[in-house]
């Protein structure tokens, strides 16, 4: 947030145009001491209303604000959800779709897919189960990178969505193991993870470079089944 955006005059005391800790505290209606403790991660009482005020001053997006509030309201150690298997009826649904579709668990492990997705990404069936994770493949599989002509944009978007969705679970064993493994394996992941981007999923157009059929454009949609909320069904609908 710049000083001019909140009606403060420019200053020559600092080289940057941002707000000082004291100015943020004042604009959020809290004491500078309390805000300092908040930055330091001390064990203090933090209300949703005060966090929302701080987020407003810092010009956080709605997704970033929700993420911060969720972290602050966590009162128990992060735990992973039980691994979600692929229910037979949902696999039947995927198989009935004529376009590429697959299912991912909370840690983005790929739990199931249909013939359309295997046509788009033929290696999926041959992968070791431990490597069958969408985030892992985006950063470590050259074939998948070739499939994405906008890899830089897509990978950053995926990572921002993964962080937003994972929230407090990032400290849980399976999520932490995935992040640690990617840090070790991919310099691109290390660089982008350090950017701390957070973004909610939104349906959008996606372009793929298929080995035989060239550039293809799909609408990227995602739904959560009521009877299997630990899974997301991802669908690439032809435009």
- Using one digit for the tens of pLDDT, what is the confidence trace for 87-141? 999 999 999 999 999 999 999 999 999 999 999 999 999 999 999 999 999 999 9
Q: Residue 14's pLDDT band (boundaries 50, 70, 90)?
A: low
Length of the chain: 239
User: Do 53 and 112 fall within a single domain?
Assistant: no
Token pair 């089944």 in the structure block, residue: 225
Tell me, yes or no, whether 43 lies in a domain.
Answer: yes
Q: Based on the domain organization, do 31 and 143 belong to the same domain?
A: no
Among residues 59, 77, 104, the one where a domain terminates is: 59
Confidence of residue 181 (pLDDT cuts 50, 70, 90): very high
Q: How confident is the model at residue 5 (pLDDT cuts 50, 70, 90)?
A: low
Let me know if residue 80 belongs to a domain: no
46-50, 99-103, 143-147, 187-191: the lowest-pLDDT one: 46-50
pLDDT the model gives residue 110:
97
**Same domain flag for 47 and 96:** no
Residues 139 and 197 in one domain: yes
- pTM summary value: 0.83
Q: How many domains does the chain have?
A: 2
69 within some domain: no
Residues 170 and 111 in one domain: yes
Same domain, 126 and 168: yes
In CATH, what number is assigned to the domain containing residue 150? 3.30.450.180
Q: Provide the sign of the torsion angle of the four alpha carbons 119, 126, 142, 94, taken in this order.
A: positive
14 or 231: which leads in pLDDT: 231
Same domain assignment for residues 121 and 18: no
Position 28 scores a pLDDT of 84
Residue 75 domain-assigned (yes or no): no
Q: What domain range includes position 32? A: 4-59
Clarify whether residues 102 and 17 are in a common domain.
no
Asked if the structure places residue 211 within a domain, the reply is yes
Query: Does 18 fall in a domain?
Result: yes
User: Do 157 and 206 belong together in one domain?
Assistant: yes
Q: Are the C-beta atoms of residues 57 and 24 closer than 8 Å to each other?
A: yes
Q: Is 12 in the same domain as 52?
A: yes
Mark whether 206 and 138 lie in a shared domain: yes
Residue 217, in any domain of the structure: yes
User: Is 70 inside any structural domain?
Assistant: no
Asked if residue 30 and residue 137 are part of one domain, the reply reads no
Q: Show which of 12, 40, 59 is a domain's final residue.
A: 59
Indicate which CATH number applies to the domain containing 48. Answer: 1.10.260
């Amino acid at each position: 947030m710049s000083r001019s955006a909140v009606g403060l005059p420019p200053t020559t005391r600092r080289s940057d145009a941002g707000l000082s800790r004291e100015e943020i505290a004042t604009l959020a209606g809290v004491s500078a001491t309390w805000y300092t403790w908040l930055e330091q991660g001390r064990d203090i009482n933090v209300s949703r209303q005060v966090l929302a005020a701080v987020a407003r001053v810092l010009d956080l997006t709605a997704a970033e604000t929700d993420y911060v509030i969720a972290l602050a309201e966590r009162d128990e150690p992060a735990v992973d959800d039980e691994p979600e298997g692929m229910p037979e009826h949902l696999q039947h649904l995927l198989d009935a779709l004529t376009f590429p579709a697959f299912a991912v668990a909370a840690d983005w492990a790929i739990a199931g897919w249909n013939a359309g997705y295997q046509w788009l990404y033929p290696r999926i069936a041959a992968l070791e189960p431990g490597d069958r994770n969408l985030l892992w493949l985006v950063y470590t599989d050259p074939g998948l990178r070739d499939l994405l002509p906008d890899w830089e944009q897509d990978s950053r978007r995926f990572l921002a969505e993964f962080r937003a969705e994972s929230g407090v679970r990032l400290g849980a064993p399976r999520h932490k193991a995935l992040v640690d493994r990617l840090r070790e394996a991919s310099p691109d992941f290390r660089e982008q993870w350090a950017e701390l981007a957070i973004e909610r999923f939104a349906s959008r157009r996606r372009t793929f470079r298929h080995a035989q059929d060239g550039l293809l454009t799909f609408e990227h949609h995602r739904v959560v089944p009521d009877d299997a909320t630990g899974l997301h069904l991802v669908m690439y609908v032809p435009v």
